[in-house]
Amino acid sequence: MNKKIGIGIGIVIAVFLIVKGLSFFKSAGSSQNDNLGKDNAASLYEQAVALEAASEPLEARELYKKIVADFSDFDKIEDVQKKLEAINTKIILSSMETPSTVIYIVEPGDSLAKIAKKHKTTVALIKKSNQLKSDVIRVGQKIRIWKDTFSVFVDKSQNILILKSNGEIVKVYAVSTGANNSTPVGTFKIVVKQVNPVWFKSGQVIPPESPENVLGTRWMGFDNPPDYGIHGTTEPQNIGKQVTAGCVRMRNADVEELYDFLPEGTEVTVVD
């Protein structure tokens, strides 16, 4: 064999071995990083669960949020998301003071309705977060108010409704949207809220107690078009499907929860 050829072949083999070696170490390093990531996620999860058990929901929430943001492939990610949603809701409904709350001192002439309107919240949310059994309040009483603005995002392609507070996700709900993609897209405002709504169908008045009334237990109507909105359902088995006449349907328990959070004027964005 020619000496130069032999040297050339030797160089090629050496380069090949180096490349393979680098590939091996890169693969091994990647595997180690994956394992490290899983270990970090598991450690954060254990810490969050312990904090939650120790009645430290704010600290637990931050760890759950970090897992969702940084470790989307964590094998318990669905459980983490559910825990995060539950703790978000718990914080909003609690009497806990947070950066998202203010303490209001009741003044002469105040009512819960006036206070709710002033702070762009709902009477129901004020009552729940202050453990009030009635609408009676007294001058000088301290009232905890959730001050962050709620908004709603509906994704028709996934049939989900996302509740946000100050732009951050609070909770994701499964919903039904319009058959044949009939739910209008755009940005709307909730202008009408009704408990146990009457359904006006083709000139007929269908009372809330009728099994033919598909609106369920709550109605939150949009400004434009006015015939569309978010409501409950008498057909929970169809949640997650595109089956409505154009409105957004929710399970009754879910729409009742959402109803208490959202004041009139809340912005709703619907996308395909």
Give the pLDDT band of residue 139 (cuts 50, 70, 90). Answer: very high
Identify the residue whose tokens are 């020619």: 2
Residue 52 one-letter amino acid? E
User: Contact 152/262 with Cβ under 8 angstroms?
Assistant: yes
**CA atoms of 121 and 146, how far apart (whole Å):** 7
Which domains, and CATH codes, for the chain? 3-91 (no CATH), 94-146 (3.10.350.10), 150-271 (2.40.440.10)
Give 35 or 237, the one with higher predicted confidence: 237
Residue 5: per-residue pLDDT:
45
Give the pLDDT band of residue 226 (cuts 50, 70, 90). Answer: confident
Q: Is 171 a catalytic residue?
A: no
Q: Which distant-in-sequence residues (6+ apart) come within 8 Å of 182 by Cβ?
A: 244, 245, 246
Average pLDDT (124-152) is 97
Identify the residue whose tokens are 């954060």: 44
Average pLDDT (232-241) is 95
**CA atoms of 94 and 128, how far apart (whole Å):** 7
Q: Provide the Cα torsion 47, 51, 54, 56; round to 10°.
A: 170
Residue 162 corresponds to which tokens in the numbers above? 């996302």
Question: Which whole-number Å values give the CA distances from 195 to 34, 107, 202, 221, in the listed order?
Answer: 50, 29, 21, 12
Q: Assess whether pLDDT exceeds 70 at residue 71.
A: yes
Catalytic site residue from 247, 248, 258, 262: 247
Average pLDDT (112-117) is 98
Q: Assess whether pLDDT exceeds 70 at residue 29.
A: no
Catalytic site residue from 218, 231, 249, 251: 231
Question: Which whole-number Å values give the CA distances from 96 to 100, 105, 130, 131, 146, in the listed order?
Answer: 10, 16, 9, 12, 10
Question: Which whole-number Å values give the CA distances from 158 to 144, 241, 265, 270, in the listed order?
Answer: 35, 9, 25, 12
Q: Which distant-in-sequence residues (6+ apart) come within 8 Å of 224 by Cβ?
A: 188
Average pLDDT (191-198) is 96
Give 97 or 29, the one with higher predicted confidence: 97
Give the pLDDT band of residue 34 (cuts 50, 70, 90). Answer: low
Residue 26: per-residue pLDDT:
47
Average pLDDT (127-131) is 97
Q: Which 8-state DSSP code applies to residue 246?
A: S
Average pLDDT (253-268) is 98
Residue 37: per-residue pLDDT:
61
Q: Is 231 a catalytic residue?
A: yes
- Work out whether the CA dihedral 221, 242, 82, 195 comes out positive or negative: positive
The string over 3-23, giving b where at least 16 C-beta atoms fall within 10 Å of a residue's C-beta and e elsewhere, is eeeeeeeeeeeeeeeeeeeee
Residue 19: per-residue pLDDT:
44
In SS3 terms, 155-206 reads as: ECCCCEEEEEECCEEEEEEECEEEHHHCCCCEEEEEEEEEECCCEEECCEEE
What are the phi and psi torsion angles at 179 (to 5°)? -65, 145
Q: Assess whether pLDDT exceeds 70 at residue 172.
A: yes
Residue 122: per-residue pLDDT:
98
Q: Assess whether pLDDT exceeds 50 at residue 212.
A: yes
Give the pLDDT band of residue 193 (cuts 50, 70, 90). Answer: very high
Identify the residue whose tokens are 């006015």: 226
> For residue range 9-19, what is the model confidence (pLDDT) as tens digits?
555 444 444 44
> For residue range 49-66, what is the model confidence (pLDDT) as tens digits?
999 999 999 999 999 999
> For residue range 86-107, what is the model confidence (pLDDT) as tens digits?
999 999 999 999 999 999 999 9
Q: Which distant-in-sequence residues (6+ apart) come within 8 Å of 41 by Cβ?
A: 67, 70, 71, 74, 76
